[in-house]
Structure 1
Amino acid sequence: METHQCDTCGKSLSSSRSLKQHIRIHTGAKPFSCDLCGKTFSHSGQLTVHSRIHTGEKPYSCDLCGKTFRQSGQLTVHSRIHTGEKPYSCDLCGQTFSCTSSFSVHSRIHTGEKPYTCDLCGKTFRQSGQLTVHSRIHTGEKPYSCDLCGQTFSCTSSFSVHSRIHSGEKPYTCDLCGKNFRKAESLRIHTRIHTGEKPYSCDICGKNFNQPQSLRIHTRIHTGEKPYSCDVCGKTFTNASYVKVHSRIHTGEKPYSCDLCGKTFIHASSFRVHSRVHTRGKPYNCDLCGKTFSSTGELKNHCRTHNGEKPYICECCDKAFSSSSGLKKHSRIHRGEKPYSCPHCDYSCQTNGNLKSHLRIHNRKLNQAVMSGAKLSQQSPPERTSV
Structure 2
Amino acid sequence: MFGTHGNCQKHERTHNGEKPYVCKQCGKAFSTQNYCKIHERIHTGEKPYVCKQCGKAFSTQRYCKKHEKIHTGEKPYVCKHCGKAFSTQDHCKVHERIHTGEKPYVCKQCGKAFNTHSCCKRHEMTHTGEKPYVCKQCGKAFSTQGCCKIHERIHTGEKPYVCKQCGKAFSTQGCCKIHERIHTGEKPYVCKQCGKAFRLLGACKVHERIHTGEKPYVCTQCGKSFTVRGACQIHERTHTPEKPYVCKQCGRAFSKQRYCRKHERNHTRDKPYVCKQCGKAFSKHGYCKRHERTHTGH
TM-score (normalizing by structure 2) = 0.49
Which of the pair has the greater relative contact order for Cα pairs under 8 Å at 6+ separation?
A: 2
TM-score (normalizing by structure 1) = 0.40
